[in-house]
Amino acid sequence: MLTVLVLSTAARADLLGHGGFVKDVAISLDGRQALTASFDYSVMYWNLPGGGRERRLDGHEGGVNSVAFLPGGARAISGADDGTMILWSLDDGAILKKYTGHRGKIAAVAVSPDGLLAATASWDRSIRIWDIQSGETLGILKGRDTNFNAVAFSPDGKRLLSGAHDSSMHLWNVADGALLLTITGHDFAVNSVAFTPDGRQAVSGSVDETVRLWDLENGRELAIWYAHAGPVIGVAISPNGKLVASGGMDKTVRIWHLASGKIVHAMEGHEGPVWSLSFTPDGRLLLSAGADEIVRIWDVEYGIPLGGELTEMIGAGHDEDGSRGARLFRKCRACHTTEIDGANKAGPTLYGVFGRLAGTVEGYPYSDALVGTDIIWTEENIDRLFAEGPDQFTPGSKMPLQRMTEPRDRAELIAYLKRITDSERGN
């Protein structure tokens, strides 16, 4: 019998709303919510599988690299380029605590299974173990003289596995910080690590384009899979321990059978590198986070994008005009309003932006770098902002680090923005 699966591209279930690379995705233990971390300095909280975005969490002063739920699903932690970890209330988006101490960016965070401890892997060449409640640093771990890219707690919470820039991995004892095992074998930096459910093995993804399986009793390499046509950035293991997912610079997601090493599915759909992967607790869905600013949701059994709508609700109005500029502006709507009575969001309202002096919207907490400048938001200056990027045009500001390289895209977006702000002003 031949079974034909028909997938409507209009029914893709994607998480849309970030204005920069999506670096990490995490799923709550009940599978009902997801968190995403982005270069746009934000964390977003989503309902699954089809409820859209719940809220945006702002508080970091740099791109957010990693995020994790605490047990119970009411709180979460995130780590960012600003070197801080933040504890969030997901009920109202409030910052409950900010943890400082690292002298470099935090590349990865992890939460112990009991929810009492957090671990942070940093580019200051250290890993820190934190008491989440008190904010106290319980241990500072240092192996070789190298930056750390990845960290994960074992299922029993007693050990910690890290991946480093120098291609090494380390297994640590959480209670006293003792180094239990140094694992070598990769040729280049280790970007991601994950324990099997029994805690006896682990998988890793590396810049050397491989995924490897390790015995954690002795550090022996059990398998090597030549996974991608480029660096492997993210790996994840299914809850039943039977499948491994990998994502890479080649824009693909692959699902492997752990026991045999055979590829089950090779999925394409991202338009940029795939940074992070996470299985739902029932193992039926896989979420992949990408540099294309989108989190895609995949049906694990069939290796296809999930049907149904899971996007931030844009609503009726200007986005319905069907223009290229309207489509380009959808990501901007996650951070900005354009209505006359629109409130400031993560970014200031864009109502009346043309002709406005930069840094002057009342009530918005601008960075010192933008306040007091002589920049007037004209079409020419907005074009320069998109073309050069805020790091060049407005250095020191908190604007997400992104560029729009195509002149046509910039022109279409600016024309659309001018049209809707002018019409809403009655001009």
CB 290 within 8 A of CB 270: yes
Q: Per-residue confidence of the chain (427 residues) as pLDDT tens digits?
A: 222 333 333 345 567 667 778 899 999 999 999 999 998 889 999 888 765 778 899 999 999 999 999 999 999 999 999 999 999 999 999 999 999 999 999 999 999 999 999 999 999 999 999 999 999 999 999 977 899 999 999 999 999 999 999 999 999 999 999 999 999 999 999 999 999 999 999 999 999 999 999 999 999 999 999 979 999 999 999 999 999 999 999 999 999 999 999 999 999 889 899 999 999 999 999 999 988 888 889 999 989 887 533 333 323 333 445 577 876 776 676 567 777 666 666 678 888 889 999 888 888 878 777 887 889 999 999 899 888 888 788 887 767 656 788 888 889 888 988 888 774 444 3
Angle of helix 379-388 relative to helix 407-424, nearest 10 degrees, comes to 140
CA distance linking residue 399 with residue 366, whole number of Å = 10
User: Using CA atoms in the order 369, 372, 374, 380, what is the torsion angle rounded to 10 degrees?
Assistant: 50
Token pair for 230: 């480029």
E strand or H helix that includes residue 285? strand 285-290
- For residues 46-73, b (16+ Cβ closer than 10 Å) or e, as one string? bebbeebbbebbbbbebbbbbbbbbeeb
Check residue 335 and give its pLDDT. Answer: 65
| 363/36 Cα distance (integer angstroms) | 27
Per-residue confidence (pLDDT) for residue 362, from 0 to 100: 84
Among all chains, which residue has been given the structure tokens 């810049």? Answer: 207
Contacts of 31 (CB under 8 A, 6+ apart): 48, 280, 281, 282
- What pLDDT is attached to residue 425? 45
**How far lies 329's CA from each of 73, 150, 271, 350, 397, in Å?**
32, 34, 18, 12, 21
Query: ω before 273 within 30° of 0 (cis)?
Result: no
pLDDT value for 343: 65
In this prediction, residue 184 carries a pLDDT of: 96
- Residues 349/311, Cβ–Cβ less than 8 Å: no
pLDDT at 345: 62
Q: For residue 43, which of 18, 61, 8 has the smallest C-alpha distance?
A: 18
Spell out the residues 6+ positions from residue 404 whose beta carbon is closer than 8 angstroms to its own.
328, 386, 387, 410, 413
Instruction: Compute the distance between CA of residue 63 and CA of residue 79 in angstroms, rounded to an integer.
Output: 9
Distance CA 330, CA 21 (A): 15
Q: Is 152 helix (H, G, I), strand (E, B) or coil?
A: strand
Q: How far apart are CA 258 and CA 116, in angstroms?
A: 31
Residue 195: exposed, middle, or buried by beta-carbon count in 10 A (0-12, 13-18, 19+)?
buried
Return the pLDDT at 2. 28
Instruction: Enumerate domains of the chain plus CATH numbers.
Output: 11-305 (2.130.10.10), 318-424 (1.10.760.10)
CA 214 to chain centre: 26
